[in-house]
Amino acid sequence: MFDIGIIGAGPAGYTAAIRASQFGLKVILFEKEHIGGTCLNKGCIPTKTILHSCRLYNELKNSSKYGIICDNLSFNFEEIQKRQKSVSEKIRKNLTNLIKSYGITIIEEEAKISSKNTIECSSGEYKVNNIIIATGSKPDKFDFNGSYSKDFILTSDDMLNLTKLPNRVLITGSGAIGTEWARILSSLGVKVVVIEMRDKLLPTADIDVSDRMERLFKKSRIEFYTSSTVENIRYNIVTITGGKQIETDNILIAAGRRPVIGEDVLKQNININKYIKTNSNFKTNTDNIFAIGDVNGYSMLAHSAMKQAEMLIDYIVSQKNQEFNKLLVPSVVYGTPETASIGETEQSLIRQNITYKKSIFPISALGKAYADDKIEGFVKILANDKQIFGVHIISEEAGAIIQQIAIAMANHLAPDDIHKVIFAHPSYSESLGEGISALNNLAIHIPNKKTELCQK
């Protein structure tokens, strides 16, 4: 008998397994494909590995202005792909050994829930006191009107298996996945067109971030169309909203992901509304069955899944109620520069009729940005005297900067609390300190500009 049976060994599943083992619980972990889930094998890690290659290639293309000469520069896409697979494989091997070091039983087979206390797979049945569903998500697929070959439509999974770059790609969706792939492909010389059904790029981002991303796309010669969808495909000609026709070699679907929910879950009469419905303790309508990560739809990010896993095990062990706050989940879109956000957007504050101050501190005011030739971007802070509502960043190292404000917001620090902090110089983190100071017209490195209260 196991204390906990976990289906899915992605960030949610393996974190729950390790945390439960740390508390002395007996754990069995099932995974039908690869340890590490989508993030390690088909998402976060391989795409960031490719982005690193792209960044290095583009730095070297412009290296002469730094006094470094690189003649006859080129890239080998097959080697780039080999490296991302190798990186994932190494991390997967290390992760598997880490999980085993905690005495966790790993069953690498497809598992199903056969009763509230039984998980079955091809090797047999396993009795458990609690079941955690951590089956993650997969790319959404779409059927388009028209005539086209099967391999004309690609998902983000397919992109990781390409051995040759297409000359032209049309990307549907400009969220994190679409934006990152647009930047990857464009940096490697592919003609990229992005279509977004909403009225702006990065549609869930703060308006100033979306506006700046449009500027960055134009600078990178990435063509884009908002308020648009694919209307028809005829071979390699795609007709979008408004009748515009675009010739392309492939369409990359980057318009979202859907939870992986098996028939076994449905047979348990667990409440589902696209995602598995849970309460604040991640419990389904069946007392001992829980759901964490992408499958519950709270926040489809790996670090969100990992935190949910920790909170769930704390609940199982202590029975203390948990409260997952989606506003405290930082999000990062990678590329050069990065974008990072946490908390409320300006649009959401306006919708809620909340009075707020805002400051926008330009990255071009930083000495470190000039030294690195990375002057693009800003730090935008939304706050009042007592509370930070949200922070939105476009900058080199944005993913690291946002973590500082995540710590502050999680601990309910006011802007004045951060104003006491000494930020290292020269660094990109200075932008955060200066942005906080700018809320009260006290920033040192920007011209005097009166900050006013903003409200609907």
d(CA 455, CA 248): 45
Which one is catalytic: 52, 419, 425, 445? 425
DSSP 363-413: GGG-HHHHHHT----EEEEEE-SS-EEEEEEEETTHHHHHHHHHHHHHTT-
Nearest of 391, 396, 393 to residue 415 by alpha carbon:
391
Is 425 designated active site?
yes
Bridge partners of 232, per DSSP, are: 239
SS3 23: coil
**Helix/strand/coil (H/E/C) assignment for every residue in 57-112:** HHHHHCHHHHCCCCCCCCCCHHHHHHHHHHHHHHHHHHHHHHHHHCCCEEECCCCE
Burial 301-323 (b: 16+ CB within 10 A, else e): bbbbbbbbbbbbbebbeeeeebe
DSSP alpha helix (H) spans, 23-67: 37-42, 44-61
Task: Give the separation between CA 413 and CA 407, rounded to whole angstroms.
Answer: 9
Q: Rounded to the nearest 10 degrees, how much is the dihedral formed by the CA atoms of 149, 153, 158, 161? A: 40
Does residue 135 sit in helix, strand or coil?
A: coil
The whole-angstrom separation of Cα 384 and Cα 352 is 15
Distance CA 393, CA 401 (A): 8
Alpha-carbon span 19 to 318, nearest angstrom: 13
Beta bridge partners of 278: none
| DSSP 8-state class, residue 356 | B
Residues involved in catalysis? 425
